[in-house]
Chains A and B, each alone.
Chain A
Amino acid sequence: MSFKDSVRIGLDRNLEGMRQVLDGLTPEELLWQAIPTTNHITWILWHMARGEDIFVGRALDLGSSWIDGDWASSLRFGEDDDDTGAGWTIEQVAAMPEVSIDLLRDYHSAGGERTLAEFEKLTDPDMDRVYHPMPRWDVTGAQLFSIIVTERSAHMGQIAFSRGMQRGLEGQDQRAREWMREMRRP
């Protein structure tokens, strides 16, 4: 084992955790906004997936899965390959095109699996290399992967928070329910 395993665990945990936190949510729950200036779960998931696709794809010169992988057309979304949702207005979030949640989850998982596969090829010296994920933004390999883990985790936490607001303590995902049962044991 090594520190590489720690980073891999962070990348893995995001994928597994996302499956759990989305489990069983209804179409209404996926589009629920607590107040007009909060994002809904569908938007957060789309934003996460687009962000990872662009950030990893451009940094590692992998091409655009949004365009070349036909995800834009499958999801019936516009083909602006630079759009991650950052800077969207409240109106844009509320008017987000209807997307198939199953396809969106597939797009998100595909991006995560691609990140993991590319990560496996890297070694310690790659953590010192400079990558260019976006114009005027250079990162080291170490920053590239730490940002992926922290940013994805932050958004996953927001999805869990939105789920919790809607479903309360009893509607938590399975992992959280098991943990609560254990916490309540005398």
Chain B
Amino acid sequence: MSFKDAVLNGLDEFLQGLKKAVDGLSAEELRFQASPTSNHITWLVWHMSRVEDNWLTRVSGTDSVWDTGGWAEKTGVTGEVYAGGNNKTMEEVSALPDIPIATLLDYYDAVRARTLGVLDGMTDADMEIGHENPRYGTTTNAWIFGHIIVEESQHLGQIAFIRGMQRGLGA
């Protein structure tokens, strides 16, 4: 084992936790917005899956899973405002198409399979390779993988919180 296994564990704990956190939720529960400025669970899952896909597209230099797998058509998310995996306004959050959670999780599994394939071929030496990013400047592979685990886990905590708000304790 090595520190690479800690990274792999973190990614896996997140995805297994996500599947548990959304298990059994109704369509209404998945779209519940706790306040006018709160995201709903469907938006959070869509956003995280798109972001991991985008980062690994940058890391690997290959096309996105979103494009190669035809996921815009499969999910119905074809609007230009959603193209980057994020959007600007709460109106857009509320207007995100009603993507079935099973479809979103299928997309996430496809994204994650690509992520693991890329990681499989990486060694410590690859961690210092840098990529230009308009928002973050130059980001190394090391930073990217640490960042992905932190950001995804933050959003998973939020999903658990939103689920708890609706179902109470022992949710």
Q: Tell me if B127 and A34 are in contact (CB < 8 A).
A: no
Q: Does A137 contact B (CB under 8 A)?
A: no
| Beta-carbon contacts under 8 Å, A20-57 to B | 34-35, 37-38
**Residue numbers in A under 8 Å from B164 (CB-CB):** 37-38
Q: Tell me if A141 and B6 are in contact (CB < 8 A).
A: yes
Q: Tell me if A153 and B6 are in contact (CB < 8 A).
A: no
Q: Does B62 contact A (CB under 8 A)?
A: no
**Residue numbers in B under 8 Å from A158 (CB-CB):** 157-158, 160-161
CB contacts between A and B, total, < 8 Å: 166
Q: Tell me if A143 and B9 are in contact (CB < 8 A).
A: yes
Q: Tell me if A157 and B156 are in contact (CB < 8 A).
A: yes
Q: Tell me if A141 and B1 are in contact (CB < 8 A).
A: yes
Q: Tell me if A157 and B2 are in contact (CB < 8 A).
A: no
Q: Tell me if B13 and A147 are in contact (CB < 8 A).
A: yes
Number of interface residues, chain A, beta carbon within 8 A:
49
Report which of B7, B146, B157, B168 forms a contact with A155, defined as CB distance below 8 A: B157
The 8 A CB mask of B138-152 against A (1 = contact, 0 = none) is 001111011101111
Q: Tell me if B155 and A3 are in contact (CB < 8 A).
A: no
Closest chain A residue to B134, Cβ basis = A182
Q: What range describes how many residues of B lie at the interface? A: 35 or more
Stretch of B34-42, B51-59, B66-74, B97-105 with 4 or more beta carbons under 8 angstroms from chain A: B34-42
**Given A37-B165, A38-B164, A128-B1, is A13 in contact with B127 using a C-beta cutoff of 8 Å?**
no
A and B contact pairs by CB, cutoff 8 A, 30 listed? A1-B127, A2-B124, A3-B3, A3-B124, A3-B145, A6-B127, A6-B142, A6-B145, A6-B149, A7-B3, A9-B142, A13-B147, A13-B150, A90-B169, A127-B6, A142-B6, A143-B6, A146-B10, A147-B9, A147-B13, A150-B14, A150-B153, A153-B152, A153-B157, A154-B157, A157-B154, A158-B160, A164-B37, A165-B34, A183-B88
